[in-house]
A and B are shown apart, each in its own frame.
Chain A
């Protein structure tokens, strides 16, 4: 039995959504851990949250939301308009936003390290137990998320390359669609990370 192009599109979409499901469960486990420790040490989590830069968090939220817009427009330009040059520019903008996100994150983490707020640091170890847990979760969860941003940028760079070389076209664009779905997933995870770490003080 021959698979039609339509079948292939559906199968690739099913595979992508299953992958997204597994990613949500990975982060879900960490969010579960977060909720337990927060229930046990609400005051310490509150104090830990005071140390984060709300400005940096908000800025990065806006950067990621904007990157999601350009990513969605990249798919739209290819699927609805058949304008591959627009798709290429939107993808480049998305990757640039991802890079901006990482730069802000680097400065943010750098400031924490300067103040001795990193795992196993003497300054942090002297703090209350809940704050140690808070910063442990902060570095684990935002670190894993940043790692996803990097992977997303690499994936989109490959997609951009395929678009420019006209391997991804109006007719065949499952890689573009799925790569962008991954990018939106990274955005959705950040939508929950942001209030839980930055906005609870």
Chain B
């Protein structure tokens, strides 16, 4: 009983911990954006957004414990392809 209770508590705390990390990253990104760091700013806020979505995908959507490789990689691969599409199009339009 005591064992399962403590097991339960760690699990609950893990979700709350992920949430706390997400809130902390949100505060970080808003602070960074108000600091006026120039052109690098967009890269920083996007990197933080990527980190936040990774946390949600891995721990809230349970991709970290997904055993089937196809399901584990489906959305991450799609997101990477999308990032390449958008990144290349952006630089193309920017330097045309």
Chain B residues within 8 Å of A147, by CB: none
Contacts A68-B56, A199-B33: A39 and B93 contacting too (C-beta < 8 A)? yes
In the complex formed, the residue of B with least CB distance to A187 is B56
Interface residues contributed by chain B, number (CB under 8 Å): 42
Q: Which interface class (under 10, 10 to 19, 20 to 34, 35 or more) fits A?
A: 35 or more
Report yes or no: A69 in contact with B15, Cβ–Cβ below 8 A: yes
When chains A and B are docked, how far (Å) is the Cα of A148 from the Cα of B82? 20
Encode contact with A along B33-66: 1 for CB under 8 Å, 0 otherwise. Answer: 1100000011001101100110011011100000
The binding surface of chain A is classed by DSSP as helix
Distance between A39 CB and nearest chain B CB, rounded to angstroms: 4
When chains A and B are docked, how far (Å) is the Cα of A35 from the Cα of B90? 6
What 4 pairs across the A-B complex have the smallest Cβ distances? A199-B33, A195-B45, A39-B93, A69-B19
Jot down 26 A-B pairs with beta carbons below 8 A, ordered by A.
A13-B71, A17-B71, A17-B75, A24-B78, A25-B78, A31-B82, A32-B85, A32-B86, A36-B89, A54-B33, A62-B26, A65-B26, A66-B19, A69-B18, A73-B15, A76-B11, A80-B8, A184-B57, A187-B60, A188-B56, A191-B49, A191-B52, A191-B53, A196-B46, A199-B29, A199-B45
